[in-house]
């Protein structure tokens, strides 16, 4: 947006932003403040803060409830917090937000903290329209096919309150904003609605806020009444119509949260696909905000890339892979596996059905195969853990092969202990390493061994009891069973 007319207009003169974030979110049925509920892995409020910062304003004030310390903790450096002591409506929240702005002159943008689809480009256009019109207030509006419960925009001079606005010409003055519950049947036919985003002249807003009254069904101070007070004083208020109504979608329930998640996820996947990532089925692919994926990577259905995950170029992820805060290098393959807080280097292979836990590093070309669990371990270059093994608190060298069913017994009931396995080691199936223990480079272990002592380099570790074969054991066992059954029948 840098250098665009709307951005330049937004940056000229004094500009402040007030974000209303004090809502309890009653309809969310949650103990979490509404603005902290996440959309694609990120709090609702963070998206609105990004849009506000995109305006490069002089001040940003976020209005919270007194108990919302968690919201305050989210605020970046430079944002100011204002507290709405009593929740008496949007007008009261803006009044609280204006308190830190005492003496500020210029324009004030008012946003709601639960509408994450707002962006800096639209806000720049909104501020530019406000300043170009010379109005005391500007209302961002949208035209909806089904305006539903949204407040209707009544245009000044409309012959019939039911007429739709002419959105292809310069916005007309706004006469009133009427809440849906208060609309006449004619007003309910209006398709233009209030988005909840405004720009006001700071001086006029400061002067009119004390005049708001609670004479309404909710007993609250409505910010929309500022528009009515301006109209009563012949101060111009105009509307700026959003070209895309999606910008106004806010979250008031878990249903709304899911709908907004779908929009943001769609945008994230579109950005990835335009950057060279293949997404086989966008409807069944889940990628968080901020996740990075390299070009020529293929994301199969039911892939989840969450948190701070980074995936390199030319990878194949999925189907059914779940990665959170994981790093995956170039040309790696992850199939039907769970990866958390781990590093999977270039050309590695993971899965299917592997579980790679925190603090694990698979070095280049390593393999963690079917039903393998690895945690807090480093697996060397080109080393293979093909199937049915658990490796924990271990360091494994390069070019080693861990056979099926190997276990590092790393916990003695009190402490975790390390296992060290060198390079070019070949372990036998069903080997258990009782830590702390070290296996040297080039060593071998025999199948079924329980290794409790160090194995020197190039040695073979065998730790199992000698086999004893007892002839005729099965026949004698069956005879005893037959005799027992006969005794039981005689007793009856």
Q: Which residues are catalytic?
A: 387
The residue among 469, 403, 476, 467 whose CA lies nearest residue 433 is 403
* Cα angle: 259, vertex 327, 352; to 5 degrees: 80
Token pair, residue 5, equals 């007319």
Token pair, residue 134, equals 């010379």
> In this structure, what is the dihedral angle of CA atoms 211, 215, 219, 223, given to the nearest 10 degrees?
-40
Tokens 């803060």 correspond to: 49
> In this structure, what is the dihedral angle of CA atoms 410, 415, 416, 421, given to the nearest 10 degrees?
-60
Helix (H) or strand (E) holding 263: helix 254-274
Tokens 């949208």 correspond to: 142
Q: Report whether 184 contacts 161 (CB < 8 A).
A: yes
Q: Report whether 10 contacts 124 (CB < 8 A).
A: yes
Count CB neighbours of 220 within 10 A: 18
Token pair, residue 298, equals 């293929």
The Cα 241–Cα 262 span in angstroms is 24
Helix (H) or strand (E) holding 228: helix 224-232
| Burial degree of 462 (CB within 10 A; 0-12, 13-18, 19+) | middle
All residues at 6 or more sequence positions from 431 whose CB lies less than 8 Å from its CB, including other chains = 403, 405, 406, 407, 445, 446, 447, 448, 449, 450, 451
The Cα 3–Cα 127 span in angstroms is 15
């Amino acid at each position: 947006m840098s250098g665009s007319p709307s951005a330049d207009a937004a940056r000229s003169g004094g500009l402040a932003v007030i974000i209303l974030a004090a809502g309890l979110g009653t309809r969310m049925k949650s103990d979490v403040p509404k603005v902290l509920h996440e959309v694609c892995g990120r709090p609702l409020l963070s998206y609105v803060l990004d849009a506000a910062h995109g305006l490069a304003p002089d001040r940003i004030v976020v209005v919270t409830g007194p108990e919302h310390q968690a919201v305050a903790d989210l605020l970046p450096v430079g944002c100011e917090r204002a507290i709405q002591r009593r929740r008496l409506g949007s007008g009261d929240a803006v009044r609280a937000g204006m308190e830190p702005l005492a003496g500020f002159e210029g324009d004030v943008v008012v946003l709601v903290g639960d509408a994450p689809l707002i962006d800096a480009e639209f806000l720049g256009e909104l501020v530019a329209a406000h300043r170009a019109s010379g109005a005391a207030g500007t209302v961002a509006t949208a035209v909806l096919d089904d305006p539903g419960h949204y407040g209707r925009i009544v245009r000044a001079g409309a012959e019939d309150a039911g007429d739709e606005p002419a959105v292809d010409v310069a916005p007309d003055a706004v006469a009133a904003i009427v809440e849906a519950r208060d609309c006449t049947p004619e007003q309910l036919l209006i398709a233009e609605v209030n988005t909840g985003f405004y720009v006001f002249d700071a001086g006029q807003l400061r002067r009119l806020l004390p005049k708001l009254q609670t004479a309404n069904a909710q007993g609250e101070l409505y910010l929309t009444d500022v528009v009515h007070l301006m109209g009563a004083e012949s101060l111009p208020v105009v509307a700026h119509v959003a070209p895309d109504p999606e910008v106004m979608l806010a979250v008031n329930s878990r249903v709304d949260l899911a709908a907004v998640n779908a929009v943001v996820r769609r945008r994230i996947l579109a950005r990835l696909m335009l950057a060279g990532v293949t997404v086989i089925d966008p409807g069944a692919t889940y990628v968080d905000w901020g996740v990075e994926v390299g070009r020529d990577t293929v994301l199969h259905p039911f892939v989840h890339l969450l948190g701070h995950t980074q995936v390199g170029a030319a990878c194949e992820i999925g189907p059914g892979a779940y990665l959170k805060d994981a790093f995956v290098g170039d040309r790696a393959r992850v199939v039907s596996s769970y990866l958390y807080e781990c590093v999977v280097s270039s050309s590695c292979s993971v899965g299917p059905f592997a579980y790679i836990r925190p603090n694990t590093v698979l070095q280049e070309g390593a393999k963690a195969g079917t039903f393998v669990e690895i945690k807090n371990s480093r697996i060397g270059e080109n080393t293979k853990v093909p199937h049915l093994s658990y490796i924990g608190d271990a360091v494994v060298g390069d070019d080693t092969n861990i056979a099926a069913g190997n276990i590092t017994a790393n916990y003695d009931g009190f402490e975790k202990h390390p296992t060290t396995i060198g390079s070019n080691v070949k372990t036998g199936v069903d080997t258990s390493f009782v830590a702390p223990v070290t296996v040297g480079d080039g060593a071998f272990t025999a199948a079924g061994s329980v290794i409790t002592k160090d194995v020197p380099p190039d040695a073979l570790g065998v730790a199992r009891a000698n086999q004893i074969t007892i002839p005729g054991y099965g026949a004698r066992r069956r005879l005893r069973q037959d005799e027992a059954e006969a005794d039981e029948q005689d007793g009856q």
